[in-house]
Each structure stands twice: as structure tokens, then as C-alpha cells.
Amino acid sequence: MTSVNSLVDIAVFGIVGAIMMAALIGLLLVLPGGAREAPPGVRVAFGAASVVLLVALPVLAAANTLSAGSGFWTAFAVASCVVAVVYAVNVAMLPLVARRQAASGDRSALASLRPSLPVLAVGLLVCLTLGLVGASVAALII
């Protein structure tokens, strides 16, 4: 029964994180002038919100998993999967960002926004690292 609870945690926290990350990206895209012409304070606020989202959701998912009686490695797997779902939404939103940048006249943005295999591999390592951080913080809290 623990595996079903873990899958539910991944689905719930992953979907919430994906929706929140898509909303952040969408808000950044609709700013007048795009992200490049946004004031530095706005860019810092969006970056801070993204970091908080990428740390808080795995911690909450891992804490929920640990409180259900699962072990640390199960909590680590759940937290890593939650971050991976949010990461997948970021990768899926890249074509939208590229089209928006191209519409604003920046043609070089199209080439720089296509993820390559090494970039996706580094993203997977980041997901695992954030999952480990989330599970560790949850283990300290619980």
C-alpha cells in the first residue's frame, strides 16, 4: 500500500508544482517587453519563487511519504519524481518561450532554447540532487 501512497504523492505534488511553474513562466512571458526588459527586481522575484517551489514541494512530498511510514529512500524517490515532473513542464514550455522570444525580434533565442541530451542529463542530476535535499530536510523535520 505504500507504493500507491507514493504514486499519489508524486501525482498530487507533481501536478501542483507543474501548474505553479507553468503559471510563473506564463506570468513572466506576459510582462510588457518580455523577460529581458523586466526590472531586475521582478526577475529576482520570479527566480526566488522558482527556487522556493523546487525546494518546498519535494520537501512536502517527502515529509508526507515519511509520515506515512515509508523509509528515507522511498521519500527520496518521491521527492526526485516530483522535481522531475516540474522539470518536464519546464522543458515542455521551452517552445512557447522560444516563440515568444522570436516574436519579440530575438532570433538567436530559438537556437539557445533547444535542450540537448547533455542538458537533459544535467537536469536529471539536478532533479536527483533536489530530491536528496528534499528528502533530507523532510527527514530532519519529521
Residues 72-90 pLDDT 10s: 999 999 999 999 999 998 8
Give the three cell numbers for residue 131: 530530491
Q: Where are the domains of the chain?
A: 2-141
Give the three cell numbers for residue 64: 508526507
Burial environment of residue 14 by CB neighbours within 10 A (0 to 12, 13 to 18, 19 or more): buried
Q: Output the CA torsion sign for 97, 28, 135, 79.
A: negative
pLDDT digits (tens, 9 = 90+) for 95-141: 777 777 667 666 655 555 667 889 889 999 999 999 999 999 999 99
Closest among 53, 57, 66 to 5, alpha carbons compared: 66
pLDDT digits (tens, 9 = 90+) for 27-46: 877 776 655 666 778 778 88
Closest among 24, 88, 31, 86 to 56, alpha carbons compared: 86
Contact 19, 88 (CB under 8 A): no
Distance CA 85, CA 67 (A): 22
Helix pair angle (40-67, 72-103), 10° resolution: 150
Q: Where are the alpha helices (DSSP H) in the chain?
A: 2-29, 40-67, 72-103, 108-112, 117-141
Q: Which pTM was predicted?
A: 0.83
Q: Who has greater pLDDT, 3 or 45? A: 45
